[in-house]
């Protein structure tokens, strides 16, 4: 009866805290998912890692596949790709995933996703355009209109672009170059076709082509995607750690660990190299709840001291 009361208490407190039902946690060398209504482990594959870019999603990485879970609703979809890739469109970072029919551009919130009408295995944003590589060729979108390709089925195996100066009149140009199949196609900044050349087998041959008519400008540093710097608190070889939030909290365990706590997402890492033990999970300080299954809490012996 006491266990049942505790389960009801934990469920009510956690749902009132964030309205999320699912969260990720790590144990030893795998990642898993906890159901915060029952405080039990969800039956899933053993994941190798999880991607932390989302507010309302768990992006779980397996062996050459990725599973997406909504933190409230559960499993969404599996993608057969090794990792999520990112692209920056209109000053916003999207991670993209693809199945056999479509490509999913997902920013930090899943409900704001954009679905492109075809499978693209690589995306690149350049000067207001989105360059999309299919398995066999390329499509090009205008970044402000992702509903329909601006150009379709450009026959090429590879793409790059260069900022150049025309030797004839010293005008600056941006060139989009597609190559690697029957022809090398050179487009201007608005994707008007300037030249069609014999095929070039690699990047360096294409550069030699354009050096005949253009001077390549020095590469301009690109704006970087957001970099999140995480500051942490650390405690070595201890059974307890003090953490200051709205109040001072003391956490303790029944065994000695090295502790790392990251304040920006309330993530705690406990590890002991000698015993080969690693535990990684979030903490709800408001309700004094550890977002891991109850049986794992008992195994670690973790609790709030005060």
DSSP 52-77: ---SSEEEEE-SS-EEEEETTTEEEE
CA distances for 295 relative to 7, 111, 277, angstroms: 12, 33, 16
Structure tokens at 224: 């970087």
Please report which helix (H) or strand (E) contains residue 177, including its range: strand 172-179
Percent of the chain with pLDDT over 90: 62
- Give the pLDDT of residue 125: 95
Query: In whole angstroms, what is the distance from residue 126 CA to residue 120 CA?
Result: 16
Check whether 99 has a pLDDT greater than 70. yes
User: Is the Cα torsion angle 127, 132, 138, 144 positive or negative in sign?
Assistant: negative
Beta bridge partners of 264: none
Of 228 and 201, the one with more pLDDT:
201
Of 96 and 209, the one with more pLDDT:
96
Check whether 225 has a pLDDT greater than 70. no
Distance of CA 20 to the CA centre of its chain: 20
**DSSP three-state, residue 297:** helix
Least confident stretch, 54-58, 155-159, 196-200, 278-282: 196-200
- Give the pLDDT of residue 39: 96
Across all residues in the chain, what is the average pLDDT? 86
Check whether 151 has a pLDDT greater than 70. yes
Percent of the chain with pLDDT over 70: 88
Q: Do 262 and 231 contact (CB within 8 A), yes or no?
A: yes
């Amino acid at each position: 009866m006491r266990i049942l009361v505790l389960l009801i208490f934990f469920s009510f407190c956690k749902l009132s805290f964030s309205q999320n039902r699912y969260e990720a946690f790590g144990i030893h060398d795998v990642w898993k998912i906890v159901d915060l209504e029952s405080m039990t482990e969800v039956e899933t594959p053993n994941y190798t890692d999880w991607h932390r870019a989302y507010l309302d999603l768990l992006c779980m990485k397996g062996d050459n596949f990725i599973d997406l879970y909504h933190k409230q609703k559960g499993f969404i979809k599996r993608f057969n790709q090794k990792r999520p890739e990112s692209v920056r469109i209109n000053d916003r970072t999207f991670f993209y995933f693809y199945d056999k029919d479509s490509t999913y551009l997902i920013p930090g919130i899943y409900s704001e996703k954009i679905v492109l009408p075809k499978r693209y295995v690589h995306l690149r944003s350049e000067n207001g355009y989105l360059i999309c590589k299919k398995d066999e060729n390329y499509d090009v979108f205008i970044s402000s209109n992702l509903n329909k390709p601006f150009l379709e089925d450009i026959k090429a195996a590879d793409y790059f672009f260069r900022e150049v100066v025309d030797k004839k009149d010293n005008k600056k140009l941006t060139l989009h170059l597609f190559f690697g199949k029957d022809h090398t196609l050179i487009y201007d900044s608005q994707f008007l076709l300037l030249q069609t050349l014999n095929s070039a087998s690699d990047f360096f041959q294409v550069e030699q082509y354009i050096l005949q008519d253009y001077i390549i400008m020095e590469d301009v540093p690109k704006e970087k995607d957001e970099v999140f710097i995480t500051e942490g608190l650390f405690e070595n070889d201890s059974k307890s750690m003090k953490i200051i939030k709205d109040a001072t909290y003391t956490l303790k365990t029944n065994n000695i660990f090295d502790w790392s706590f990251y304040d920006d997402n309330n993530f705690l890492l406990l590890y002991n190299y000698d015993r080969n033990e690693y535990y990684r999970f979030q903490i709800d300080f408001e309700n004094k709840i550890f977002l891991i299954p109850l049986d794992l809490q008992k195994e670690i012996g973790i609790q709030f001291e005060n």
